[in-house]
Amino acid sequence: MKTHVWVQVVIRIDEHYQDLLIGLLVLTGFTGFVQEEKFLQCTMPKQKWNTAFKIKFEALITKFKKEFPSLDLSYSHKLIHEENWNKKWESQTGIVEATPHIIIKPSWKKLPIRHAKKLVLHIDPKMSFGTGHHETTRLSLSLIERFLEQHMKILDFGTGTGVLGIACIKLGAQSVFAVDNDPWAIENTKENVKRNAVQKRMIVRLGSISCIPRRNFDLIIANIDFRTIIRFITTLASRTRKEGIIILSGILTNDMPVLLKLFAKNALIPIELVNENEWTSVALRRM
């Protein structure tokens, strides 16, 4: 078994500000988050915790403090080993009722009898994003339930744990092409794909926008951040068939006006918006 070493940063921050900070930290390279009332634990592979990263991280924290001067925010960091990490996840990650019909279940939890008739996604998160604890994953799943059709060929851009792609296959999609530029996410997605026995219909690739095949997808899902959406929306639109659908998540509601202009430029018409707390997800039809 490979042993990975991680850096865990514990940030003392009130729970009301945690999602906002997670939205920014996902961009920097942290891959795992655990939220508690007064603390946010963020984790990343040790080799990513270099001088350049630390400068970026400190600048981000300083900016956040400036924006919210009354906030009591401090942090410390330590190294952890994979075994400890997994044990910690096991004690903290529970079953998530992601939508009224979809349950996300880690392998160390038993399925309560009341969920027996629901669609169960078997997801062990390890270091990747996509446990269903975050609003953006749940909002994506609710839009997938609404727009998924059986014949669809799907692209899951920024797959994380593989949760959204796996949900699509289990809801009956024909195929999923899942991409992530984080090697840990890809390793984790591959494990989850096997766990859910969907490997015949789900292809998993390490990479970014350039590894997406040119074929036209019926549905593209991307639960990524604002800046990545801005960067890649034109390419994602070009990979969607005419009348096809793009589901975008990871958007802070305040950022929507900027994006709506960009969607219009790319012939993408919003057909449904859903939100929870400060997060919005949108389904767009490509004209």
Chain contacts with ligand SAH (rule: CB under 6 A): 128-130, 137, 140, 158-160, 163-164, 179-182, 185, 208, 223-224, 228
Min separation Cβ 250 and ligand SAH, Å: 7
Min separation Cβ 182 and ligand SAH, Å: 4
Min separation Cβ 66 and ligand SAH, Å: 26
Q: Which is nearer to ligand SAH, 29 or 270 (CB)?
A: 29
Q: Which is nearer to ligand SAH, 65 or 146 (CB)?
A: 146
Min separation Cβ 264 and ligand SAH, Å: 23
Residue 249 has a CB neighbour count (10 Å cut-off) of 28
Query: 84-92, long-range: CB within 8 Å, 24+ apart, which pairs?
Result: 85/6, 85/8, 85/32, 85/43, 85/126, 85/127, 86/126, 88/34, 89/32, 89/34, 89/124, 89/125, 89/126, 92/34
Coil/strand/helix, residue 143: helix
Q: Which is nearer to ligand SAH, 65 or 190 (CB)?
A: 190
Of 113, 133, 136, which Cα lies nearest the Cα of 125? 133
Min separation Cβ 143 and ligand SAH, Å: 11
Token representation of residue 49: 């915790």
Coil/strand/helix, residue 266: coil
Q: Could you give the CA distance from residue 267 to residue 242 in angstroms, rounded to a whole number?
A: 10
Q: Which is nearer to ligand SAH, 65 or 195 (CB)?
A: 195
Q: Which is nearer to ligand SAH, 99 or 228 (CB)?
A: 228
